[in-house]
Structure 1
Amino acid sequence: MRFAELAGKRVAVWGYGREGRATLAALRRRLPGQRVSLICSEAEAEQARAFHQDALDYVTGEPYAGLLWSFDIVVKSPGVSVYLPAIVEAKAAGVCFTSSTALWFGENPLASVAGVTGTKGKSTTSALIAHLLRSLGKRVALAGNIGMPLLELLDTQALVDCWVVELSSFQTAEVARLDVGLINNVYEEHLDWHGTRERYVADKLALARHSACLVVNGLQQELLARTLAHPRRRAFGTVAGWHVQDGWIAHGHELLLPLAELPLRGEHNGLNLCAALSAVDALGFDAHAALPAARSFVPLPHRLQTLGERGGLVWVNDSISTTPQASIEALRSFDGRAVSILVGGFDRGVDWSDFHQHVQRHPPQAVICLGSNGLRIFQLLDSAPRAFALEQRASLADATALARELTPVGGVVLLSPGAPSFDQFRDYADRGRAFTQLAGFDPQSIAAIEGLGIC
């Protein structure tokens, strides 16, 4: 859909987060005389009134189908589930729902785009692709779910060789044609939005049907099986392509770069680099020539971010971890160290059995459960004999203080919650900053993501 199709229609923007604000700004530029309604909370409406004055109508009640019927087109923010009964009923009544992602693609049909999704690692992989391409002298835009809505770059005059766009499972069905689509992995996540695991996986895999070339994780059999019919599919993680072997980044049987020389911690991040290299190849560029630039990559904040040492302990902020699998990978990256891990947060109902099995086989120093699903995790871990300390605390502050007591000198205090932050914090970055301060570091020292936008 293009902005011109909204002209003269009854249009609503649903949500006043960063995506919603970018949509409103783009509407103001493209359709300056258009009257628009904003569906949001009362608090958000107060914020919006300060910037938009009389340009908007406000809907601050809970949207229901009958209310949505009063619009021709609703531009929905990613966090609003397409499976809400009100949306399902409104669609059946003829209301059109679109998004800022769909509008950007509608305005840029000829752009060269690499779209990246996955349950975990998609931000790091997206940033790696952009970094590697820039090392080859390409002008690259890095945007999307990683922290810069595409519509913020809608009217750029810069010439861009490639757009690298991170896509959440909320956005994968909203893209148009991609030169390369990359699916890093698929685990159980966002069940509150998608409803079921099957629907979550299907929504992730929607990326495949929009991709001229598809790059997938060859270590995930389900992913391989469900993308088998794609005519131009290539895999990473196996010996036939880019993979991790004996502590090296390898291609085929050639060992090319030791993982120890990367600024990224853990074998899973080595696999993220393999995914990025595969995407560079799929785009038609020389991944072998780009590989040395991986040494200069700046890791993203809140992703296994070593804050430093305080009180004889190493403090690590992995607040971006919102699945139990991410917490497992975080623990694996500290094998052989005494680690106290803080887990728990907003409860999306996901299964923690794999995490339970991992800490049984590879006991950390301590597991401290917190947040709204903390009791559920605690009860699961407490259901069998264990070789690690297990505690529960309500707040991050109490959990951090306890971790300081339980962790021996030289050990690691690791925030890797395996759950979203919405029960106690605005988002994962807010949670990460709070942990940073509790650990004794300056939260302002946590850098923004390097390389966002066009450069």
Structure 2
Amino acid sequence: MQSLIQYLSDKKILLLGFGVEGQSSYRFLRKYLPKNSINIADKNPKLRENPLIHKDDNCFFGENYLEAVKNADIILKSPGIKMQEVLAIHPKAKISSQSDLMFRFFPSHCIGITGTKGKSTTSTLLHYLLSQRMKDVFLVGNIGKAAFDFVDISEEAFFVYELSSHQLQSVRHSPHISILLNFFEEHLDYYKDYEAYKKAKFAICRYQQENDIFIYDKDDAAIAKLISEEQTLSRKISFSNKDKSAAFFSDGNSIQSAGKKIYDLHSEKKLLGRHNEKNIMAVLAAIQALGIETDELSAAISTFTPLEHRLEYIGEENGILFYNDSIATIAEACIAAVEALGKVETLLLGGFDRGINYLPLIKFLIKRKEIKHLIFMGEAGNRMQEILNAQKHDKANFSAVSMKDAVEIAKRVTTKGKICLLSPAASSYDKYKNFEERGKDYKKIALQ
């Protein structure tokens, strides 16, 4: 703790972005470095009214907020602000973040988790299981809580760190244990291309040393390619549901490690689907890497409640079983949801169109005999429907102008006892603030 404070003590600090992380950094700095020069910059002028900073004059709010980067010794950048916009104004800017400082000064107290899909579920499950054994273990990062709010609670504090590509873009240090779940095309509106996105995420292990541990999906060719190209130093622990040579292997019935069955996949649990088998393997690998016997904690998987909007059963209405998978913003996530549930008769798709290739998804859906009805929404839905109707198929398909319209169609056409699933394979930004708001709207309408 003292080494972090000493590192920051003689610096003129800019908090670039004053959301959850920026405000957390401000509280920490004012507590431990009350005499330091701290500037605050954010595009949102309304944040100037925040009572936390009412006595501070060194604030830069509004359209020209990035001009503040010119006068800082160190910039603690919030994840949502693009790195290239900062460097365009100050090419030699020293950019850091809470994540970077945590991994620099407390690496052995951190497990970092990233991946295009599954990172929230994996992080939450790992935190839940470790909480059965540890007193001060905190779930932080992309999940919505800032690490600096907990870093001084105790010397034994341990952090399960969910990391987005935006958070990893500005790090130059890695946690002691890192987990990389997968790569899929996502956030291409933020990065120059898919390669830049993958390289940003790979920072989770790029700076690890020989005594650190990197846990990864052996089935993901893009991960394997980056491991080969970057020649990272850490010890590698792989998981797979295809390759028996992986350190952790799932055959659909059990998870095995070192030739021993360590978890029965037929045990009672709420995490469905083969994609969640991989999430469980990653968690068990991390627990083992910490020196904890997996037998001690794996039984608690049965009592873990998955996060909202992830293959969430929301209830029965008119005899129809409604499931909410609003988190599915890419085609691969929708495919995983359909495979996990198995008895989906009606599927709601679409939203904001980011140019994703939907042909593989449509071909997959055409082959699924149990799916009878496809209901499309938004520009992405329009394009999916065009691709569908250019193929030979037997699916009843509908175009809906709103979530209410889509659910009304679903209630009209779905057989009693069958599943209606929202798994959009598209982002929500055409009509909603985020996937959570979209999921809540679906749940409200479905159960009316």
Is the TM-score greater than 0.5? yes
Distance in 2 between the 1:372 and 1:414 partners? 19
**Matched letter for residue 59 of structure 1:** F
Could you tell me how far 1:413 is from its partner in structure 2? 2.0
Judge which range, 274-283 or 394-403, deviates more: 394-403
1-structure distance, mates of 2:270, 2:378: 31
Partner of 1:377: 384
1:52 equivalent to 2:57? Answer: no
Alpha carbons of 1:398 and 1:274: their partners in 2 closer, same or farther (altered >3 Å)?
A: same
Q: Which runs of 5+ in 2 are unaligned?
A: none
Q: Is the 8 A contact 1:244 1:250 kept in 2?
A: yes
Question: Which piece of structure 1 moves more, 385-394 or 185-194?
Answer: 385-394
Q: 1:204 aligns with which of 201, 205, 208?
A: 201
For residues 253 and 159 of structure 1, do their structure 2 counterparts lie closer, same or farther at Cα, with a shift above 3 Å needed? closer
Aligned-partner Cα distance in 2 for 1:381–1:32: 61
SS in 1 for 2:353: coil
Match of 1:236 in 2: 239
Mark the CA change 1:30 to 1:390 in structure 2 (over 3 Å): closer, same or farther.
farther
Q: Which moved more, 1:139-148 or 1:213-222?
A: 139-148
Please give the alpha-carbon distance, in whole angstroms, between the structure 2 residues aligned to 1:17 and 1:399. 35
Deviation at 1:239, TM superposition (A): 2.1
Contact (CA 8 Å) 2:322, 2:446: kept in 1 or not?
yes
Identity fraction in percent: 28
Counterpart of 1:147, as a letter, is: G
Report the alpha carbon displacement of residue 139 of structure 1 after superposing the two structures with TM.
4.3
Aligned pair 1:281/2:288, yes or no?
yes
Q: In the alignment, what sits opposite 1:32? A: 34
Amino acid aligned to 1:304: L
Counterparts of 2:382 and 2:33 in 1: how far apart (Å)?
50
Which residue, 95, 113, 125 being the options, matches 2:122?
125
> Is contact 2:111-2:161 (8 Å) kept?
yes
Residues 400 and 239 from structure 1, CA distance in 2 versus in 1: closer, same or farther, beyond 3 angstroms?
same
5 Å matches for 1:95-244? 95-106=93-104, 108-109=105-106, 111-137=108-134, 139-157=136-154, 159-160=156-157, 162-173=158-169, 174=171, 176-211=173-208, 212-228=212-228, 229-231=231-233, 232-237=235-240, 238-240=243-245, 241-244=247-250
Given that residues 217 and 223 in structure 1 are in contact (C-alpha distance below 8 angstroms), is that contact kept between their aligned partners in structure 2?
yes
The gaps in structure 1 that reach 5 residues or longer are 442-455
1:313 to 313, 320, 344: 320
Q: Tell me, in whole angstroms, the C-alpha distance in 2 between the residues paired with 1:361 and 1:285.
A: 44
For 1:252 and 1:71, the matched residues in 2 are separated by 51
**Counterpart amino acid of residue 237 in structure 2:** R
TM-score using structure 1 length: 0.86
Instruction: Please give the residue correspondences for 1:286-305 in structure 2 after superposition, counting only pairs within 5 Å.
Output: 286-305=293-312
1:104-143 deviation per Cα after TM superposition (whole angstroms, max 9, x unaligned): 344x435422111111111111122223333345642222
**TM-score normalised by length of structure 2:** 0.87
Deviation of 1:292 (Å)? 1.8
Aligned CA distance change for structure 1 residues 109 and 338 (closer, same or farther; 3 Å): closer
326 and 70 in structure 1: CA distance in 2 versus 1, 3 angstrom threshold: same
CA distance in structure 1 between the aligned counterparts of 2:438 and 2:184, rounded to whole angstroms: 23
**1:330/1:71 CA distance change after superposition, 3 Å:** same
Equivalent residue for 1:79?
80
**Secondary structure of the corresponding residue to residue 280 of structure 1:** helix
Alpha-carbon distance in 1 for matches of 2:216, 2:329 = 21
Aligned equivalent of 1:349: 355
SS where residue 250 of structure 2 aligns? strand
Hey, what does 2:395 align to over in structure 1? Answer: 388
The alignment partner of 1:216 has SS state of strand
1:179: Cα distance to partner? 1.8
Partner Cα distance (2:155, 2:7) in 1:
25
Counterpart code for 1:345: G
Cα distance in 2 for partners of 1:424, 1:23 equals 32
Letter in 2 for 1:97: I
CA 1:250–1:109: 2 relative to 1, 3 Å: closer
RCO (CA 8 Å, sep 6+): is it higher in 1 or 2? 1
Contact 1:113 1:179 in 2 (8 A): yes
Distance 1:397 1:152, change over 3 A: farther
Distance change in 2, residues 1:39/1:281 (3 Å): same
Distance 1:67 1:22, change over 3 A: closer
Does the C-alpha gap of structure 1 residues 59 and 122 become closer, same or farther in structure 2, counting only changes over 3 Å? same
Assess if the C-alpha contact under 8 Å between 1:325 and 1:354 holds in 2.
no
The total of aligned residue pairs comes to 432
CA drift of 1:329 comes to 0.5
1:384: how far off? 1.4
Question: How has the CA–CA distance of structure 1 residues 249 and 81 changed in structure 2, closer, same or farther, with 3 Å as cutoff?
Answer: same
Contact in 1 for aligned 2:123/2:139 (Cα 8 Å): yes
Contact 2:267 2:302 in 1 (8 A): no
| Structure 1 equivalent of residue 24 of structure 2 | 22
CA apart distance, 1:8: 6.9
- Structure 2 matches for 1:257-272, cutoff 5 A? 257-259=264-266, 261-272=268-279
What is the aligned partner in structure 2 of residue 327 from structure 1?
334
- Deviation track 1:262-303 (CA, whole Å, cap 9, x = no partner) reads 221112112210111112122222124322221122212221
Could you tell me how far apart the structure 2 residues matched to 1:434 and 1:186 are?
29
SS state of the match for residue 261, structure 1? coil
Cα 1:60–1:299 change in 2 (3 A) is: same
| Residue 253 of structure 1, CA deviation | 5.0
- Aligned-residue offset at 1:418: 2.4
